[in-house]
Amino acid sequence: MDADYGNEATQMRKSKLETYEDVLEVLVSKPSTVDHIAYEVGLDCTVLRERLDFLLQNSLVEERALGRKEGYAITERGIAVLKALNFQRYLKKVTDKLMVMDEALQIVSKNGRDLEKTEG
């Protein structure tokens, strides 16, 4: 397999925030090497290192020795941020569903009024 684990189209579609979130998700299960994270997230190692630098600077991940290799682990702060991002995504889904239900109720209500007019 090629060292560039992700394709350019996928990399261009993901926002930095989505990439940070993906990296944190990988690290929740266990500390990992750059190669493993790159494979799981689908990013080129060079781009991934830039994202990891940001996460390190903001204390969301930390460097960790993994045997003979250097790796990364999520910090408590990183877990808190990931939980907040997941909750935000959950709230957006709920809000979107409520908006769809509201639109459906408005249509049903309008159709009911229209039916009453034609029958009355």
Residue ranges of alpha helices (H) inside 1-120 are 8-13, 16-29, 34-41, 45-57, 76-119
AA letter at 101:
M
Residue 13 in tokens: 């579609």
Count how many Cα atoms sit within 13 Å of the Cα of residue 84 in the half-sphere of its side chain. Answer: 8
The pLDDT value recorded for residue 51 is 96
The C-alpha atoms of residue 116 and residue 114 are separated, in whole angstroms, by: 5
The pLDDT value recorded for residue 5 is 45
Domains in the chain with CATH codes: 8-90 (1.10.10.10)
Kindly give the parts of the chain with pLDDT less than 70: 1-13, 112, 114-116, 119-120
Pairing between strand 61-66 and 32-33? unpaired
If one counts every other C-beta atom within 10 angstroms of the C-beta of residue 37, the result is: 24
The pLDDT value recorded for residue 10 is 47
Global pTM reads: 0.68
The C-alpha atoms of residue 71 and residue 31 are separated, in whole angstroms, by: 7
The pLDDT value recorded for residue 12 is 54
The pLDDT value recorded for residue 24 is 97
